Amino acid sequence: MAYINYAQREIQLKVVYYGCGFCGKTTNLQAIHHTLDPQQKSDLVSLATSGDRTLFFDFMSLKTPTLNNFTVRFQLYTVPGQQIYMSTRQLVLRGADGIVFVVDSGWDRMPENVESFQDLQENLLANNLSLAQIPCVIQYNKRDLPESANIEYLEYAFNNRAIRAPSFEAVAPRGEGVIETLNAIARLLMVKYSKTSQAGMAPARAQ
């Protein structure tokens, strides 16, 4: 849950990057860390295996400029994508205010993406949450792959709900679509927690 420290004029919001193994969650955080103003960000911390796979989580903290006398601090986490770390993902999801679901666009990764999406929904439920309640943005990563699935198919598979999530195409190692995704989830959270108007929100894709 968002933590609002009124006396110190600070709001803290937790965003979790979720998705299957090798979909690019850590790469998203690395690209954000590489791109953003040093004044706005903490170090990027990775709890990884010796093979550079995420073992527990990656973490970084970002501060917005002051808005109405308040500073908003976004706490970005990734979860380990590998199937065996189910319970770890549940732990990292605790207290999440927003989700970025990262989809690997490779055709051959669709079973893993679908499994991860189901896993997300189950783990949200275990934290008494659902995708209908929690702000969510979908990122279709690895759009530079020659064998990537088309966007219409991906939208049908992962964004086929009554209220559709904003979605973005990305090539995370090049930083493409990464900051756009981050700003979309940041705005969704501001809308939810500070009654900010919807103006400037990236619209959900048309069918």
Partner 1 sequence: MDPFANVPSSVGAAEVRALQGALQGFLEATSAHWVALCDRAGNLLFHEGKDPGSDVAILCALAAGSFAASRELARRLGTNEFAEQVHEGEGLRILLHSLDTETLLVVVFQHSTSIGLVRYYAAKLANEVTGMVEEIARAGAIAFGQLPPIELDPARPLLS
Residues in touch with partner 1 (CB under 8 A): 1, 3-8, 11-12, 14, 36-37, 40, 42-43, 45, 47, 56-57, 59, 61-62, 64, 67-70, 72-75, 77, 87-88, 91-92, 94-96, 179, 182-183, 186-187, 190, 194-197, 199-200
Cα dihedral 105, 107, 111, 112 in deg (nearest 10): -40
Specify the residue, 96 or 137, whose C-beta has the smaller distance to partner 1. Answer: 96
In angstroms, the CA 181 to CA 176 distance is 10
Min dist CB 43 to partner 1, Å, is 6
DSSP state of 113: H
Specify the residue, 75 or 159, whose C-beta has the smaller distance to partner 1. Answer: 75
Specify the residue, 4 or 145, whose C-beta has the smaller distance to partner 1. Answer: 4
Min dist CB 148 to partner 1, Å, is 26
Min dist CB 32 to partner 1, Å, is 8
In angstroms, the CA 74 to CA 87 distance is 24
- Phi, psi for residue 99 in degrees, rounded to 5: -125, 135
Specify the residue, 33 or 164, whose C-beta has the smaller distance to partner 1. Answer: 33
Q: Which residues contact 50 (CB under 8 A, 6 or more apart)?
A: none
Specify the residue, 37 or 52, whose C-beta has the smaller distance to partner 1. Answer: 37
Residue 88, both tokens: 């770890």
Q: Which residues is 140 bridged to in the sheet? A: 103, 169
Q: How large is the greatest C-alpha to C-alpha distance in the chain, in angstroms?
A: 52
